Amino acid sequence: MSNGRSLVRGSRRKLAIWISTGIVALMAVYGVYLVSGLPSLEQLENPKPELATKVFSIDGEVIGHFFIKNRTRATLDQIPLHLVQALIATEDRNFYSHWGVDLPRFFRAMVTNLLLFRDRGASTITQQLARNLYELKGQRESLFDKITRKMREFITAVQIERNYTKDEILEMYLNVVYFGRSSYGIASASRIFFGKSPQELSLSESATLIGMLKNPAYYDPLNHPEQAISRRNIVLGQMIKYGYMIEEAQAARGQDLQVRSRDEAPVTGIAPHFVEYVRQQLLQKADRYGFDIYRDGLAVYTTLDSRMQRHANAAVEQHLGEYQKMFDAAWDWRHHRDVAENAVALGIRTSEDYRRARPAARDSVFRALKANPVFVDTIKKSAQRIEVGFVALDHRTGNILAMVGGSNFRNFAYGLNHVTQIHRQPGSAFKPFVYTVAIDNGYPPCYELLNQPVTIMMADGKRWAPTNADGAFGGKSTMREGLKNSINLLAVRAIMEIAPVKQVIEYAHRMGVKSELPPYESLALGTGEVQPLELTAAMGVFANEGVYVEPISILRIEDKDGNVIEENTPARREVLSKETAYLMTSMMEDVVNGGTGARVRNYFHLPAAGKTGTTQEFADAWYTGFTPQITAGVWVGFDNKSVHFTDWDGQGGRAAAPIWGMFMQRVYEDPSIAMPLEYFVMPEGVVRDTICTETKKLATEFCPSTMEEVFNRKYLPPPCDVHALPQSETVPRRRTTVIF
């Protein structure tokens, strides 16, 4: 009997040992699992919260952010004391006395979790910081996961308290915590909800933001103002309860909540196309420098001037608002059935429904969408929307000062940038390159060409017989007159006789046009497609005395600590002589002062030069021009190349030039910019002299009618040989001087 009892006791001891060993093993395994999810010592000592990259204008305004989590850093001295007090009173009243964990609250929460199977919030500020910094919370948690996470928060919070001061913990917490609407950190939240920096927040606003921490969506003051005010008052009540700013908090409980309205909230910013252009460049640089534009909190300092950008936006909006109404009244899809068919077909094939459909089902999707009148009307409306590309440059530095990449700049969502991402025929806006070659070849602005029809045999065997826009022709005209009035036949004669097409292409490329150009005489009328930015930069060569400066948008990139990662200076090269640049400037001043660009003078009356451009069937309208300080280019047209203006309102001088004029007027009248008045400077190698109006040679004292012209000193024309002697006394002499 005793042997049986001994066996039972032995069995029980073995079982107890096995159970104890199993428990110890399980605890060891759990301990390893628990520790494996903790941040490393290096992570604790150098926490790296994801920070939004800020994009700054040249005048110091934040014009954009790049982020996965919209977080912007603020130091503790930039955060008002009452906000810190509201945080402590609401979230962790014992913050300054505990060592990372409030043990009574912690164990009460653990018991509640076990008994009631729910997650009771009892985390200190330090525990919440641990959760946010090191992402200790999963998306879907079981009870086991919640308990494990709480234990990890416990351990990590203690480690944080050992590594950082209380002030450092507060600063880190307020820079990583989530406030809703993609805003992480107090700097981002205060800007989004109240349009202020943290130090500008009132007590009421601070209490509102702290109250949102409990449930950002539920207490969102934009969507749920009553709930937000109720929660704010609870926060203020906690401040009163624990003795923080009692009188001020009592007064704040009765205040209205002035939240930034949705209309005021900056969804895309003032320069979305420019910011996206910068983002694309940063992504190309990311591998070289090893940064992440969405997480590393870079500071990107750009060339854009926010004041000029607003003036560009206003000019585009004013002009297109009027022009779109005019076009809609004139355009009738019934007269353009083929265009409608093509537009709808293209719209269907690029639609989400069509692209997501299985190949076998696409025909039925196509038919269904084509039969849907709402869908078809939407496509047509989109196709007839006038688009725009506007860019302004400081031609001396290459700085992009303003950019409007499309008519949708207020609701931009990664659409086409019509400054950098399209190539269109420039029409007559290309003529300055032809005349530049002629001037550089020694022909003066007063050189005459036949304004007569010509037929050219093209490389494909077809005959090309260009005409003037108005159908008129006859006699001779000078190059100055040809550019001023955009006479097509003169430009064609020039490229045939005095400015060879290969040389024109060479000059255009040298001056900044990077697009491939067709080696045919039709290039004189702008048949090669170019990008608006490159054409505008090339135009800046004339204003910059023959020096081309590559356009730039990023001046400097800094990391979150202010260390310079990259600093940029533009590429510069001399491509024309000062003399040729000035002579062309003089000719293009005439375009503005009475030529095809005269509508600029409805708005802007200071020194200016430029050139209009219009393509066949009024599909594209251009105006590129410059003042002594700014070069700007405008393209106006349609994304669907089959849609076009229906009459002369599609000319560059009418559809594009007014935007340029409105922009310059606003910029030069803006006292905050204080643009000084400057004039185009005539270089020493250029002389002004009097010529005979009839022969276009240097006038003698016997020429009956004269005018002034400018010349390269090396290429002065000979004296007039027609009026070398006095006229008959019976014919009275007259002398008229026209000054350019």
Query: pLDDT-based confidence at 3, cuts 50/70/90?
Result: low
Please report the pLDDT score of residue 416 as a whole number: 86
Mean pLDDT value of segment 513-539: 96
Domain ranges of the chain: 1-36, 69-252, 335-383, 684-740
Mean pLDDT value of segment 544-573: 96
What DSSP element (H or E) covers 633? strand 631-637
pLDDT tens string 236-286: 999 999 999 999 999 999 898 888 754 444 446 899 999 999 999 998 998
The tokens describing 194, both together, are: 């109240």
pLDDT tens string 323-356: 999 999 988 888 888 888 888 888 888 887 888 7
Strands 70-71 and 183-184, by their bridges, are parallel
Mean pLDDT value of segment 298-318: 97
pTM, rounded to two decimals: 0.76
CATH fold for domain 69-252: Penicillin binding protein transpeptidase fold (1.10.3810)
Residue 68 and residue 294 in contact, taking contact as beta carbons nearer than 8 Å: yes
CA distances from 437 to 123, 449, 522, 531 (A): 76, 15, 16, 21
Please report the pLDDT score of residue 238 as a whole number: 95
pLDDT at residue 735 tops 60: no
What span, in angstroms and rounded, lies between the C-alpha atoms of 489 and 470?
Answer: 11
Those residues whose C-beta lies under 8 Å from the C-beta of residue 287, and which sit 6 or more positions away, are none
- The alpha carbon of 516 is separated from its chain's Cα centroid by a whole number of angstroms, namely 26
Burial class (CB in 10 A: 0-12, 13-18, 19+), 719: middle
Residue 173 and residue 100 in contact, taking contact as beta carbons nearer than 8 Å: no
**Greatest distance between any 2 Cα atoms in the chain:** 164
The sign of the CA dihedral 358, 359, 365, 370 is: positive
What span, in angstroms and rounded, lies between the C-alpha atoms of 389 and 620?
Answer: 11
What span, in angstroms and rounded, lies between the C-alpha atoms of 509 and 512?
Answer: 5
Mean pLDDT value of segment 121-143: 66
Query: pLDDT-based confidence at 439, cuts 50/70/90?
Result: very high
Please report the pLDDT score of residue 177 as a whole number: 87
462-501: b (≥16 Cβ within 10 Å) or e: eebebebeeeebeeebbbbbbbbbbbbbbbbbbbeebbbb
